[in-house]
């Protein structure tokens, strides 16, 4: 792997795990909690966000030299809002059912702080190529997080996944899981597991370092 | 952080002129406007078709054995087919069989639900004075509870043969002792009541104004509205 490929890979992979926008940075919580009551909604919201983030990062990185820094936030928002409108109409035309479920949360992608955050923190300072890799990584991480939450909530709250019933008629759905409290509960538990794993890894690394010190 | 900051450009130190700022924002707005109008134009016909198809499917669902429909409205105090391209404030749909025989009306109604406005469509057969089907078109009722007004087959089934006289009533589940009563959904009483209230209120608006049985507007032989299921 050449150095630049390695760099691309790093920018991509950091969004999925180390700097995951949801589990680590805890950004974009509004769509995260609002539309993850089923796996298909989560995927649709994740896909729309991926499209908006990649498109915006590409444009912002390409035109960063032309945008004076005093009006950069306004320009970012105009770019993001345009992509969101495109996503909104496209979903309405192609999958009206999903669009109906997501409702007001598609226009609200404009206000997803993860997207503006990536423009300000990354795309406005890096090359087009790295910005697109970064956007792809971050939005893939976001899709994975949304899907995890959506799948857990749909399985527990409706007894199905992608609308396919899993447990048969005898299963009594745990309705609260698809209501807002279920979102907070599931997200909290996932964050707990994530932090616990990070902590364990840290402890392990410390132990290794200590063993190396005492060994030498 | 692995983010690399590009070297500062010399011109970045000087403040750009206000004119430059305005031009940048105006250009961004212009390009954005063109893009948005473009996507609106590109998707408009598909979106309109989707909506028309959804409505047509709903009409066929709430009226039995209906394969054709037309939109009706009061023009000059008379219920008549709405001419193509025109719109009216209040419209209903008439459903016909394959042989263009009148079956009943599909009446849209709306009113407040538990969370937001519920929009629904119900089939009404004037000959029997009965509601023969109900379909929720739009609602934001609580998932898992209120959304049973369209997901619970038993509740929806209440409306498949429901006399409307004197009015439709909601009763607790299992206490139904008359034909004009509807079993409420356990845990979603407000949503159940809302559906029935919408139908009763819409009935009040329409039923006295409908033409006498037998004199319903006829289905034109060749119409753009004709559709086969």
Indicate whether B228 belongs to any domain: no
Q: Answer for the pair A106, A52: CB distance below 8 angstroms, yes or no.
A: no
Six-digit token string for B147? 């959304």
CB within 8 Å: B2 and A66: no
d(CA B158, CA B174): 12
What domain range includes position B181?
A: 48-209
pLDDT of residue B115: 81
pLDDT in tens, A28-61: 888 888 888 888 888 999 999 999 999 999 999 9
**Rounded Cα distance, A188 and B51, in Å:** 39
Could you read off the pLDDT of B43-56 as tens digits, one per residue?
A: 999 999 998 888 88
Give the model confidence (pLDDT) of B12-36 as tens digits: 557 888 999 999 999 999 999 999 9
In a domain, B229, yes or no: no
Residue spans of chain B under pLDDT 70:
1-13, 221-229
Does residue B217 form part of some domain? Answer: no
**Residue B18 belongs to a domain:** no
A45 and A105 Cβ atoms separated by less than 8 Å: yes
Query: Which residues of chain A have a CB within 8 Å of the CB of B25?
Result: 71, 74-75, 78
- Of A166, A169, A188, the closest CA to residue A177 belongs to A188
Q: Would B26 be classed as within a structural domain?
A: no
- Where would I find the beta strands (DSSP E) of chain A? 160-161, 164-165
Whether residue A159 lies within 8 A of chain B, CB to CB, comes out as no
Q: How many domains does chain B have?
A: 1
ipTM for the whole predicted complex goes beyond 0.85: no
Taking the C-alpha atoms of residue B62 and residue B159, their distance in angstroms, rounded to an integer, is 9
B21 and A71 in contact by Cβ < 8 A? Answer: yes
Contact list in A for residue B21 (CB cut-off 8 A) is 68, 70-71
Nearest CB among B6, B29, B144 relative to A125 is that of B6
Domain for residue B80, yes or no? yes
- Does the model's pTM come out above 0.90? no
Name which of A14, A67, A71, A165 to mutate to probe chain B: the one with the most chain B Cβ atoms within 10 A of its Cβ.
A71
Residue for token pair 């087919």: B81
Within a 13 Å sphere around the CA of B194, how many CA atoms are in the beta-carbon half?
24
């Amino acid at each position: 792997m050449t150095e630049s490929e390695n760099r691309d890979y790093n920018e991509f992979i950091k969004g999925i795990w180390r700097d995951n926008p949801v589990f680590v940075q805890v950004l974009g919580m509004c769509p995260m909690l609002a539309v993850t009551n089923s796996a298909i909604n989560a995927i649709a919201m994740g896909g729309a966000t991926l499209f908006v983030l990649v498109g915006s990062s590409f444009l912002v990185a390409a035109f960063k030299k032309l945008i004076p820094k005093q009006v950069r936030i306004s320009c970012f928002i105009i770019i993001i809002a345009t992509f969101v409108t495109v996503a909104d109409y496209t979903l309405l035309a192609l999958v009206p059912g999903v669009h109906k479920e997501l409702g007001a949360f598609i226009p609200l992608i404009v206000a997803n702080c993860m997207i503006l955050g990536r423009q300000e923190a990354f795309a406005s300072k890096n090359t087009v190529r790295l910005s697109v890799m970064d956007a792809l990584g971050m939005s893939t991480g976001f899709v994975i997080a949304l899907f995890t939450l959506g799948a857990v909530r749909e399985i527990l709250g409706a007894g199905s996944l992608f609308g396919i019933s899993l447990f048969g008629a005898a299963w009594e759905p745990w309705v609260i899981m698809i209501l807002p409290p279920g979102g907070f509960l599931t997200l909290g538990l996932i964050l707990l597991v994530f932090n616990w794993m990070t902590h364990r890894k840290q402890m392990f690394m410390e132990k290794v370092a200590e063993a190396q010190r005492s060994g030498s | 952080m692995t983010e690399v900051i590009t070297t500062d450009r010399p011109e970045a130190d000087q403040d750009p002129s206000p004119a430059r700022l305005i031009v940048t924002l105006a250009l961004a707005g212009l390009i954005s406007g063109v893009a948005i109008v473009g996507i609106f134009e590109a998707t408009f016909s598909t979106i309109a078709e989707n909506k028309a198809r959804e409505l047509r499917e709903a009409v066929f669902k709430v009226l039995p054995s209906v394969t054709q429909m037309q939109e009706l409205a009061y023009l000059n105090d008379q219920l008549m087919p709405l001419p193509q391209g025109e719109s009216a404030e209040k419209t209903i749909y008439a459903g016909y069989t394959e042989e263009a025989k009148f079956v009943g009306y599909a009446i849209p109604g709306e009113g407040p639900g538990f969370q937001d406005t519920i929009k629904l469509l119900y089939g009404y057969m004037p000959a029997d004075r009965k509601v023969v089907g109900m379909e929720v078109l739009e609602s934001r009722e609580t998932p898992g509870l209120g959304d049973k007004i369209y997901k619970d087959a038993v509740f929806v089934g209440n409306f498949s043969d429901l006399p409307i006289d004197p009015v439709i009533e909601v009763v607790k589940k299992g206490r139904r002792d008359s034909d004009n009563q509807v079993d409420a959904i356990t845990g979603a009483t407000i949503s159940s009541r809302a559906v029935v209230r919408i139908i009763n209120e819409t009935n009040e608006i329409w039923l006295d104004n409908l033409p006498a049985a037998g004199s319903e507007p006829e289905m034109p032989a060749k119409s753009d509205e004709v559709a086969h299921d």
